[in-house]
């Protein structure tokens, strides 16, 4: 054992104070420069040998090994696509030459960057939700006598630039898909103001770097145009129908025909529920670590059997995570690990329109 620890010490070039040797599971020790418990992954202060010594999440001696379901993570090039690489896969197997994909940050890497840098995410003391009873997509009974959202400190949240510019967009759309949509100059000014706000955030900067690295954009100008095309340029939801939709309207505002479609944003849900337009009827499924809820509800009397959304994330986070999946895994499941939790985002493109647009995007829980 001490031979192994000594070799790790030599390999990392750390002092003993920077090692997890003999410290696995120990509480916070402010006298140390790094930590060795499960919270260190959340706070980003794990010692460099934490995964090797305290968990089995290491690629040491496993680079290019076949799938091993007895291990919590994998160490071959397929792990990049499946989002289950060990934390040291890049440094040990890619940086060391043991099998090199074309990029150094996969979708799990990006997802964690987005999550960790979402400084505009609503804090736990700024809102409260009441999930109440579980239901099913086929149920006809209401399992929630009260609203989903109990309160939100709007004065703290909605004054932030990415929120205030997001709110300005919500009344630019007519939910009914039977109505032709258009966007006048004033509405494009509001769209550009929203883009200016979100593109200035760390979340969208991480997305930009990821998309450049993966060859989806080349510079800031092309990046902005890709976001516009995916989310704001209008399209017809059917090949013979009117110009009646956009990615932003469908996913973040919601649309209606004989029922509700899209509607995968917590802010819009909160606002419409506050107005009395939404009747929350219970949750179908939840992902508690990531604060995702799939709700059954009615909106202006029309039903949504299951609508899933992140709760409390910033507008830029929604745009970023859905954009990454729409571009890298269009029309398919986009699976990754974020904040230690496995998640799948489902996206679809508009098949009858050239290029990529967001037809829909949502957490598939």
Strand (E) or helix (H) holding 284:
strand 278-287
Instruction: Check the CA dihedral 303-305-308-312 and report its sign.
Output: positive
Active site residues: 250, 264, 304
Strand (E) or helix (H) holding 278:
strand 278-287
Strand (E) or helix (H) holding 256:
strand 255-256
What 8-state DSSP symbol labels residue 114? H
Residue keyed to tokens 């909605």:
158
Residue keyed to tokens 């060990």:
86
Contact present, 72 and 83 (Cβ < 8 Å): no
Overall size of the chain counted in residues: 365
Contact present, 44 and 33 (Cβ < 8 Å): no
User: What is the rounded distance in angstroms from the CA atom of residue 249 to the CA atom of residue 142?
Assistant: 27
Tell me the sheet residues that pair with 152.
127
Contact present, 277 and 299 (Cβ < 8 Å): yes
Q: What is the DSSP string of 287-353?
A: ETTTTEEEEEEEETTEEEEEEEEESS--HHHHHHHHHHHHHHSTTSEEEEEETTEEEEEEEE--TTS
Q: Packing angle between helix 315-328 and helix 185-199, nearest 10 degrees? A: 90
User: What is the rounded distance in angstroms from the CA atom of residue 208 to the CA atom of residue 73?
Assistant: 27
């Amino acid at each position: 054992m001490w031979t192994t620890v000594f070799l790790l010490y030599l390999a990392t070039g750390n002092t003993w104070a920077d090692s997890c040797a003999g410290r696995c599971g120990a509480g916070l020790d402010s006298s140390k420069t790094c930590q060795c418990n499960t919270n260190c992954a959340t706070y980003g202060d794990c010692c460099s040998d934490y995964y090797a010594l305290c968990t089995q999440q290491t690629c040491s001696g496993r680079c290019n090994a076949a799938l091993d379901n007895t291990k919590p993570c994998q160490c071959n090039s397929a792990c990049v696509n499946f989002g289950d690489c060990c934390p040291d896969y890049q440094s040990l197997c890619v940086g060391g030459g043991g099998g090199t994909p074309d990029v150094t940050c996969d979708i799990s890497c990006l997802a964690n960057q987005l999550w960790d840098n979402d400084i505009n995410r609503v804090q736990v003391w700024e809102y409260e939700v009441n999930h109440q009873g579980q239901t099913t997509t086929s149920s006809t009974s209401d399992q929630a006598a009260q609203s989903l959202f109990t309160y939100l400190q709007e004065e703290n949240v909605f004054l932030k630039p990415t929120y205030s510019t997001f709110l300005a967009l919500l009344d630019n759309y007519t939910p009914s898909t039977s109505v032709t949509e258009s966007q006048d100059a004033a509405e494009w000014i509001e769209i550009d103001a929203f883009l200016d706000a979100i593109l200035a955030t760390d979340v969208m900067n991480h997305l930009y770097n990821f998309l450049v690295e993966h060859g989806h954009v080349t510079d800031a100008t092309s990046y902005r145009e890709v976001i516009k095309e995916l989310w704001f340029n209008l399209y017809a939801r059917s090949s013979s129908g009117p110009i009646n939709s956009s990615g932003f309207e469908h996913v973040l505002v919601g649309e209606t025909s004989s029922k509700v479609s899209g509607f995968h944003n917590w802010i819009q849900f909160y606002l419409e529920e506050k107005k009395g337009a939404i009747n929350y009827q219970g949750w179908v499924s939840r992902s508690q670590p990531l604060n995702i809820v799939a709700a059954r509800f009615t909106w202006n009397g029309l039903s949504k059997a299951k609508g899933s959304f992140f709760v409390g994330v910033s507008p830029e986070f929604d745009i970023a995570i859905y954009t990454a999946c729409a571009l890298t895994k269009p029309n398919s499941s986009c699976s990754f690990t974020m904040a230690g939790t496995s998640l799948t985002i489902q996206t679809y493109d508009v098949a009858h329109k050239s290029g990529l647009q967001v037809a829909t995007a949502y957490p598939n829980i």
